[in-house]
Structure 1
Amino acid sequence: METIHKQEELIFKEYQALLGNNSEISPDGLHYLGDFYYTNDCWGRDCGDEEEKWYQYCNRKRGLVVLTKELNDEKAWDIREEHARKNGVEEPTPSNHIFYRNLRRWVYALLNMDNKGNIPNFPDIEIAQECFETKPWVRVNLKKVPGGSSIDNGLLALYVDKFRSLLQKQLVIYKDASIYLDCTRRCGIDLLRELYPDIKAFGDGDDEWIYFSEKHHFIIVNSYHPSYPVSGGEEAYYNRMRNAIHSFFQEYPNFL
């Protein structure tokens, strides 16, 4: 069987061919866990033992896939090297950008959830950064062309429609995941529902926190984008997410 990264590369090749030569894609997928390097005032990272660790976490029902809209940058780069460190500083220092403040906390929370749906208290930056750097997790952008600082939801929908089959093929690579974090205004949930039609919301509202598949035994956490300035502050939002997940597991104990 081909490695995860080999399967990813084949999809990126198809994506680039369909996209054409006017734009360059930003590869994404299973986060690299190899050696760090610092060159030209920027941090980077090599491939490591992330595939082995990914399957270990999937066996523990903690395989995590984060769905985001696009790379908020002018230049394409491989976000599997994502490090959440501050560039321009040779001493490893966690970035204080809102995107990474939130993303690293949410990754930490979901990877450290216990079997009863209990999530750790709001972590300090060093604890969350250590998890971000050392644990296996996946990030998939629904639009793989960098887009600057923001994206119109209509443009995102156009990209999803054009590349739908490739996005679904990529999601199948991570089919052993038990936890999804959808930060795309439910575009990711819609894609997953085409693969797993039994997905339903936990609750009666129009925009619930938790969606789940009983047949395939995974949950989807429906979240704002990590860069969004949430009402009440970042810790309050973390705790709302925490409480929503705990409520689900009270209704469905030992679901994962």
Structure 2
Amino acid sequence: MSAAAADTATREKPDAPLVIGLPSKGRLMEKATALFEAGGHPIRRIGSDRGYRGMIEGLDDVEVAFLSASEIARHLKSGKIDAGITGEDLLQETIPDWQARVKVLVPLGFGHADVVVAVPESWLDCATMDDLEEIAEAHFRRHGRRLRVATKYLRLTRQFFAEKGIAGYRTVLSSGATEGAPAAGTAEIIVDITSTGSTLRANHLKVLDDGVILSSQAVFAARRERLTDPRLQTLTTALKKGLSIKTTNA
């Protein structure tokens, strides 16, 4: 048995600590910890206010790992953590066959954003994915190469374009500000996440009418093999209670 498999097997014993991943900073962290506190289980960092480990009051056998949202999705995939709060977009992008491996236990109602297909505003004749297919064919005839799609969401892009029957493109992995790719000449269109659309408009891009790939929000998700763990059920109940209290007080 490999070291990683042995570690996962050890933590899956009933008396092993349950490890959950929480966002390490920003509004996601603030909102997530506020929900646990409202639900009766405050989060405490261990060591210092900037420590990367924590505990949950009232649950001594639950460990908290403070991670970025993308790390939480990756660690759910690898089994390094048992549950966590991250974006639904990151779960679907990071984990192949994600619904068979993890389950969304609580949609949290914050961190809303859409993963979208956006094209230059100057493409007046392009409003739908069907229009995009025609443009892709014309682009290949004119330039001898496929349309380039800049994105950090390779898996979601390929799945969505396949569903729409579009093959005349190639993906370009974006390592920076994706919305700037068309202006920089590194891609013709983009697939990116947006909450208000203001950044897209500032870069003279528009979302296709049927170009919303996923409407995402922050979620509490867990690996399926941990779903019967009573500690996980306690955390789920705490989050739902916190949401109820926040909604009532809103």
TM-score (norm 1): 0.22
Higher relative contact order (CA 8 A, sep 6+): 2
Could you tell me the TM-score, scaled by structure 2's length? 0.22
Bigger radius of gyration: 2
